[in-house]
Amino acid sequence: MDKFEEKLARARSGESAGKSHGALATFERTRPFVAVQAIGIARAALEFATQYARERVAFGVPIGQHQSIANMLADMAVDVECSRLLVRKAIWLAATGRSFEQAEGSMSKLKAGETAVRVTEQAVQILGGYGYIRDFPVEKWYRDSKIMTIFEGTSEMQRRVIARTLLEA
C-alpha cells in the first residue's frame, strides 16, 4: 500500500482526524449550511401562508381568524423558530472551531429539513387548491423542501448519527 492509499484508508476510518472522525466530521460541520436553506424555504412558506390567511375571507372573516388555521400558523412559526435556533448554535460552534459533541450539525439538519417539509405541507393546506397550482410559489417550496431531508444525509441517517452520539457518550 503506498502513502496515498494509507492516508485514504486512515481518512475513511477517521484515524487521521483525531477527535473529528474524518469525512463524517466534515459533513457534521457542513450540515447546518444545508439546514439554512431548509429554514429559508420554511420561512417563505410561513410568511406566504400568513399573508394569505390575513387576506382570504371565508364565512365573512379572514381565514386566519378560524382557530384551525390560526393553530396551524402558530405551530409553523414555532417549528421555524426552533429550527433556526438549532442551526444558529451549530453554525456558531463551527465558526468558533468548537467540536460538535452532541451531533449539533445532524440535529440542525434533521430538524430544519423536516420542518421545511411540514411547514410547506401546512402552507399548501392553508391555501387549499391554490397551494397546489403553479400560479403560487407554495407548490414549488413544497417540492423543494423534500430534498432537504435527503441531501447530505437522509433524516434517518441524521437520527442514526444523533443516536450513536448519545449512546457512545
Kindly state whether residue 118 falls inside one of the protein's structural domains: yes
Kindly state whether residue 45 falls inside one of the protein's structural domains: yes
The pLDDT of residue 2? 62
Kindly state whether residue 63 falls inside one of the protein's structural domains: yes
Q: What is the pTM of this model?
A: 0.84
The pLDDT of residue 29? 84
Q: Mean pLDDT for each 10-residue chunk of the chain (169 residues)? A: 55 47 70 95 99 98 98 99 97 91 95 99 96 94 97 95 92
Angle, vertex CA 165, rays to CA 112 and CA 43, nearest 5: 5
Kindly state whether residue 4 falls inside one of the protein's structural domains: no
The DSSP symbol for 1 reads -
User: Which range of residues forms the domain containing residue 36?
Assistant: 28-168
Cα–Cα distance for residue pair 61/54, rounded to 1 Å: 9
Kindly state whether residue 133 falls inside one of the protein's structural domains: yes
The pLDDT of residue 8? 46
Question: For the residues of 30-81, what is the DSSP string, one character each?
Answer: HHHHHHHHHHHHHHHHHHHHHHHHHH-EETTEEGGGSHHHHHHHHHHHHHHH
Torsion, Cα of 45, 50, 55, 58 (10° steps): 100
CB atoms within 10 A of CB 3: 7
Catalytic pick among 47, 104, 139, 152: 152
- Please count the structural domains in the chain: 1
The pLDDT of residue 123? 98
The DSSP symbol for 2 reads -
CATH of the domain at 159: 1.20.140.10
**Which amino acid, 3?**
K
- Contact between 58 and 68 (Cβ < 8 Å): no
Kindly state whether residue 12 falls inside one of the protein's structural domains: no
Q: Is 6 an annotated catalytic residue?
A: no
The pLDDT of residue 5? 57
Cβ partners under 8 Å of residue 105, min gap 6: 27, 28, 29, 30, 31, 32, 90, 94
Handedness of CA 109, 114, 119, 121 (dihedral sign): positive
Distance of CA 87 to the CA centre of its chain: 8
Kindly state whether residue 13 falls inside one of the protein's structural domains: no
Residue 17, SS3 per DSSP:
helix
Kindly state whether residue 9 falls inside one of the protein's structural domains: no
